[in-house]
Amino acid sequence: MWALNIKVREKWNIYNERASKFKVKLYFYSQNYYEEKGKIYFVASGIVEGEENNKKRFFSSLKRDKKVVNLEWNNDFFICTYSEGKNSKRSKAVKAAYNPKLIFLKPVIIDEEGREEWEIAAPSRNDLGLFIKHAEKLANVEYKVLYFKEKKMENLMIYAMLPKLTNKQKKALMLAVERGYYGYPRKITLEKLAKQINLSTSTFQFHLAKAEAKLMPFLVRQY
């Protein structure tokens, strides 16, 4: 199997600009696309990470975008359909990106700087080469190939397979990761983490332990 890991920044993308503006991170799948009345419609779903206020501002801004046809969200999860004008160059690029022969090894990641990271695979090298070719041709696109090689597949990540955490569990876990609690040596204590979100140490530890109990069996089964 051939695999490609590429970072892309599309300056017109409705997600990239807002991820950078509101300092949120997205994990999403481009589910499908369709063409209708001179426009291309994109259907995507995903999860948004970041400060609560930033996520609210992200969704509020996205909802107001004239390109957005439909947007639904529940906590961090969203489903969105948006449109853009159709032209031959864009249509060819879309067909290369939505090639049914491509396998998404994990969700596309859009970081807080608005950069997309795609990790995809295909039986044929040519299908991935076509993906790169159209990234090169499109105007206003920055890209960098991290690797493009033949390798054995080890895993396939689908976010719907992950255990569901409550908002409090997710917040505790994300804070612990961001502040270096799981590093060696640890950069912060439970007491200091709890203080940062105005919780008692015992309450914070309870939420963190519950999150770890849900995630660890899932992670262990992957190896």
SS3 175: helix
Structure tokens at 76: 């961090």
Say if residue 218's pLDDT is above 70: no
pLDDT at 223: 52
Q: Is residue 81 part of a domain?
A: yes
Give the tokens for residue 142.
């920055």
Bigger pLDDT: 191 vs 76: 191
Kindly tell me if the per-residue pLDDT of 104 is higher than 80.
Answer: yes
> Residue 139: what pLDDT?
58
Residue 144, helix vs strand vs coil: strand
Judge whether residue 84 has pLDDT over 90: no
Mean confidence (pLDDT) of the chain: 87
Residue 216 pLDDT level (bands cut at 50, 70, 90): confident
Phi, psi of 202, rounded to the nearest 5 degrees: -65, -40
Answer yes or no: do 137 and 191 share one domain.
no
Quote the domain boundaries for residue 145: 2-150
Please check whether residues 181 and 136 belong to one and the same domain: no
Range in 29-38, 51-60, 102-111, 213-222 with the lowest mean pLDDT: 213-222
Overall pTM surpassing 0.85 (yes/no) = no
Average pLDDT over residues 27-36: 88
* pLDDT of amino acid 220: 64
Residue 129 and residue 19 in one domain: yes
Q: Which of 129, 150, 171 is the last residue of a domain?
A: 150
Q: Could you tell me the CATH number of the domain that includes residue 202? A: 1.10.10
Return the pLDDT at 162: 65
What is the rounded distance in angstroms from the CA atom of residue 95 to the CA atom of residue 50? 32
